[in-house]
Chains A and B, each alone.
Chain A
Amino acid sequence: MVNSITIEISEEGDIVVARQKGRSIAKNLGFSVVDQCRIATGISELARNIFLYASTGLIMILTLIENNRMGLEIIAKDMGPGIPDIKLAMLDGYSTSNGLGMGLPGTKRLMDEFEIISETGAGTEIIVRKWLN
């Protein structure tokens, strides 16, 4: 890891700030325009989830170097209510906020790696990674 940036999510405009930062870091790392779009969109979904379900939280963007390859890791962390049923939350079309229910499963499809750790009442941490080809 050579670089990291943390964006606090506490108001709606922070969602835009987070995805713009993510895109600019992805661009500097050499990600294709389409991958930049995937990364920015994924960050947007994760940041909105924080805002919607936990009100406040953090988006951390880290540069990864591993076995001669480079990548981007995004950690979305909040101390909100947590996700009671992760399997259900990962189903296309399932939403508890009257949304489309595409946020989490969609983000998983946009990224190369996706991990979710959540405890009811303690918060949620979602880690996604995208590798540079």
Chain B
Amino acid sequence: MTVPIIKLGDNLIITIQTEMTDDMAVEAQNKILSRIRETEARGLLIDLSVIDVIDSFMGRVLNDTAMMARLMGAQTVVAGIQPGVAVTFMELGLKMKNVYTVLDIEQGLELLKSLE
């Protein structure tokens, strides 16, 4: 199971379509970073709308990916965080760093455009 990464202009769109194991998340992180390098992308849009659990490990991978992308010159926008995920994220004590957040992919694309 791999995470599809679609190039759209200067941006990469990643739609997480299934619940991920820890290994899959780390693999997706590596793949995203290689694609940034290959495509010289300036923005990442990660759609998490079908994800219904973000635990401390997944939260860390997400933050790390955004930080690494930023080191490579790309901004990260996360779209579609579910209400329950937002609540548990806070209660777990996790923090979102280096990440823009939007409600859906459409808003994400607009935001990426305004960042260019």
Q: Does A112 contact B (CB under 8 A)?
A: no
Q: Does A15 contact B (CB under 8 A)?
A: yes
Q: Chain B interface: which size bin? A: 20 to 34
Q: How many contacting A-B pairs (Cβ < 8 A)? A: 75
Do the beta carbons of A16 and B88 come within 8 Å of each other? no
Per-position binary interface string of chain B over residues 79-105, scored 1 when its CB falls under 8 Å from any chain A CB and 0 otherwise: 000111101100111100000000000
Q: Does B40 contact A (CB under 8 A)?
A: no
Which among B59, B84, B92, B93 has the greatest number of chain A C-beta atoms within 10 A? B92
Per-position binary interface string of chain B over residues 58-96, scored 1 when its CB falls under 8 Å from any chain A CB and 0 otherwise: 011000000000000000000000111101100111100
**For residues 75 through 104 of chain A, which have their beta carbon under 8 Å from a beta carbon of chain B?**
92, 99-100, 102-103
Bound: A37/B92 CA distance, A: 12
Bound: A115/B20 CA distance, A: 28
Binding site for B on A (CB under 8 A): 12-13, 15-16, 19-20, 23, 33-34, 36-38, 40-41, 44-45, 48, 92, 99-100, 102-103, 105-107, 109-110
